[in-house]
């Protein structure tokens, strides 16, 4: 085995340098992972009856975001609103696609994006604002990364999980496979909070072992079955868990890769305590918040859960108030502060393994010999660069953006980053 992995990380000619990209034959195929990927594509759920997201209405306006435009209303609204049956929870069926992002899985289960998991750029903007009060700038950044890396830049469609190219692409795959958010080392990466590394076979399904580790850190005394009082998933806890996941992957995954896009993992980690809280204090969600979005059962006497396929917006079990979005929009500048905070709590090296426990650091943009600059402006510009530049996706290669993707991402992001002070890429 180890010989294969060593080979995979050598500097190899261009086409061979993309072992993770579906459809490109390479040395990785000899490890069997590529055939696993092919199998997953052929088994990706197909819902012949695609229904678009349920739009907001004047009766239930939420943040007022529609048609991909900025929100018009303030936050701190209840989701779903009382009586809004169009956005009630509906569990995913066997033909619905779900993936590595609990925020989007939940949005699909509540019809804020298409319930089948094949969504659009505009739906993604509206849903992020109308459910979570994500700022327009951050909503555009995340949707651009999602659609640009894992979807179709022409139709602006994207699968929130497995490869649904037949439904996201207008050109019949001229641009190659559009793998969806499950695709490894595009947006999805190693050392995720509750998902295993791609190397271990499944990078997108909730793993209760990792969730139990997070929950053990969040435990603050009292009965472990108390979903209101006994757990607090604050920044300290999330930073520690992210660090533990990194150490575990580095020690056990011979293909471990923690590239520049891993700053997105810190961003996603901040969503736990920035976007999910409602019933705990600000910045510290209770179990009923986290367990709901992650779709788990309630903890047993040992604090363990199982996945219940019910990723949903929390309901207060005591019959009290439901779930309310945060008051101030969570924007890019606030996110950048959290990325730096989470990283500085436990600094780690960016890079990858060339064998189990055999780690090489990388340099790219504000990452020097594996160390990330903790200047917020540097991290801000790296976020732009992740979408617009050719970014390393393994120790041996970079992911080259097709011109259609570059046109799409610069068109979306240049207005958002116009006054950022970052060097912008000219649209093609």
Ligand X SMILES: *[C@@H]1O[C@H](CO)[C@@H](O)[C@H](O)[C@H]1NC(C)=O
Residue 28 CB neighbours (<10 A): 23
For ligand HEM, the closer CB: 268 or 332? 268
Decide which of ligand HEM, ligand X, none touches 360; Cβ closer than 5 to 8 Å per partner kind: none
CB-count exposure of residue 285 (10 Å: 0-12, 13-18, 19+): buried
For ligand X, the closer CB: 202 or 378? 202
**Bridge partners of residue 184, in order along the sequence:** 188
Decide which of ligand X, ligand HEM, none touches 194; Cβ closer than 5 to 8 Å per partner kind: ligand HEM
* Strand bridging mode 157-159 / 118-120: antiparallel
d(CA 188, CA 169): 20
Q: Measured from the CB of residue 200, what is the shortest distance to ligand X in angstroms?
A: 7
- Please report where in the chains the tokens 């050392």 appear, as a residue: 191
Asked if 78 interacts with ligand X (CB under 6 A), we say: no
Q: Measured from the CB of residue 165, what is the shortest distance to ligand HEM in angstroms?
A: 17
Q: Which stretch binds ligand X (CB under 6 A): 97-105, 150-158, 229-237, 341-349?
A: 229-237
Residue 53 dihedral angles phi and psi, to the nearest 5°: -55, 150
Q: Which of 111, 215, 234, 270 binds ligand X (CB under 6 A)?
A: 234
Task: Give me the sign of the Cα torsion angle 156, 162, 165, 166.
Answer: negative
- Beta-carbon contacts of 320 under 8 Å, excluding residues fewer than 6 positions away, are none
Which residues contact ligand HEM by CB under 6 A? 100-104, 124, 128, 132, 134, 142-143, 146, 181, 187-189, 192-195, 265, 268, 271-272, 275
d(CA 210, CA 197): 11
Q: Which of 78, 173, 240, 298 binds ligand X (CB under 6 A)?
A: 298
- Please report where in the chains the tokens 């209405």 appear, as a residue: 57
For ligand X, the closer CB: 165 or 249? 249
Decide which of ligand HEM, ligand X, none touches 234; Cβ closer than 5 to 8 Å per partner kind: ligand X
- C-alpha triplet 390, 395, 399: angle, nearest 5°: 25
Q: Measured from the CB of residue 101, what is the shortest distance to ligand HEM in angstroms?
A: 3
Closest CA to 259 of 357, 185, 172, 345: 185
CB closest to ligand X, residue no: 220
d(CA 381, CA 399): 18
Asked if 66 interacts with ligand X (CB under 6 A), we say: no
For ligand HEM, the closer CB: 27 or 188? 188
Decide which of ligand HEM, ligand X, none touches 310; Cβ closer than 5 to 8 Å per partner kind: ligand X
- C-alpha triplet 241, 360, 12: angle, nearest 5°: 125
Question: One symbol per residue from 323 to 342: x for binding ligand X (CB under 6 A), - otherwise; what is it?
Answer: -----x--x-xx--------
Asked if 181 interacts with ligand X (CB under 6 A), we say: no
Residue 266 C-beta-side C-alpha neighbours within 13 Å: 30
Decide which of ligand HEM, ligand X, none touches 298; Cβ closer than 5 to 8 Å per partner kind: ligand X
String of DSSP letters for 48-70: SS--PPPPP-SSS-TT---TTPP
Q: Measured from the CB of residue 7, what is the shortest distance to ligand X in angstroms?
A: 25
Q: Measured from the CB of residue 108, what is the shortest distance to ligand X in angstroms?
A: 16
Decide which of ligand X, ligand HEM, none touches 390; Cβ closer than 5 to 8 Å per partner kind: none
For ligand HEM, the closer CB: 16 or 287? 287
For ligand X, the closer CB: 173 or 207? 207
Cis peptide before 80 (omega within 30 of 0): yes
Question: Of 89-148, which residues contact ligand X (CB under 6 A)?
Answer: 91
Closest CA to 295 of 95, 105, 93, 80: 105
Decide which of ligand X, ligand HEM, none touches 382; Cβ closer than 5 to 8 Å per partner kind: none
Closest CA to 367 of 377, 376, 379: 379
Binding interface with ligand X (CB under 6 A): 91, 196, 202, 207, 209, 218, 220, 232, 234, 236-237, 297-298, 308, 310, 328, 331, 333-334
């Amino acid at each position: 085995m180890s010989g294969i992995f060593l080979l995979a990380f050598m500097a190899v000619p261009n086409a061979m340098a993309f072992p993770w990209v579906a459809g490109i034959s390479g040395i990785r195929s000899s490890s069997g992972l590529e055939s696993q990927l092919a199998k997953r594509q052929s088994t990706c759920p197909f819902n012949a009856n695609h229904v678009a997201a349920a739009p907001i209405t004047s009766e239930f306006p939420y943040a007022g975001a529609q048609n991909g435009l900025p929100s018009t209303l303030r936050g701190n609204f209840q989701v779903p609103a009382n009586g809004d049956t169009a956005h009630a929870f509906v569990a995913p069926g066997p033909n619905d696609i779900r993936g590595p992002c609990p925020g989007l899985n939940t949005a699909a289960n509540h019809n804020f994006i298409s319930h089948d998991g094949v969504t659009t750029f505009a739906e993604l903007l509206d849903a992020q604002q109308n459910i979570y009060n994500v700022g327009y700038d951050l909503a555009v950044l995340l949707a651009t990364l999602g659609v640009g890396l894992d979807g179709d830049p022409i139709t602006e469609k994207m699968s929130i999980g497995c490869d649904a190219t037949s439904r996201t692409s207008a050109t019949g795959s001229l641009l190659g496979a559009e793998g969806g958010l499950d695709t490894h080392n595009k947006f999805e990466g190693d050392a995720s909070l509750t998902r295993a590394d791609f190397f271990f076979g499944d990078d997108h399904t909730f793993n209760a072992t990792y969730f139990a580790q997070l929950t053990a850190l969040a435990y603050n005394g009292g009965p472990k079955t108390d979903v209101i009082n006994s757990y607090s998933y604050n920044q300290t806890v999330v930073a520690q868990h992210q660090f533990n996941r990194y150490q575990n992957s580095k020690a056990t995954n011979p293909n471990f890769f923690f590239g520049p896009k891993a700053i997105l993992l810190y961003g996603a980690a901040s969503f736990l305590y920035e976007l999910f809280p409602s019933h705990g204090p600000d910045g510290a969600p209770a179990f009923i918040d986290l367990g709901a979005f992650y779709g788990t059962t309630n903890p047993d006497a040992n604090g363990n859960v199982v996945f219940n396929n019910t990723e949903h917006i929390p309901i207060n079990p005591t019959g009290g108030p439901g779930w309310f979005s945060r008051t101030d929009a969570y924007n890019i500048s606030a996110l950048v502060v959290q990325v730096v905070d989470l990283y500085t709590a436990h600094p780690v090296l960016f890079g990858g393994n060339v064998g189990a426990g055999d780690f090489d650091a990388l340099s790219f943009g504000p990452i020097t010999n594996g160390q990330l600059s903790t200047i917020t402006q540097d991290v801000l510009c790296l976020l732009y660069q992740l979408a617009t530049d050719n970014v390393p996706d393994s120790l041996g290669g970079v992911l080259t953006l097709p011109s259609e993707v570059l046109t799409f991402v610069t068109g979306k992001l240049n207005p958002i980053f116009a006054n950022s002070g970052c060097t912008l890429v000219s649209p093609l």
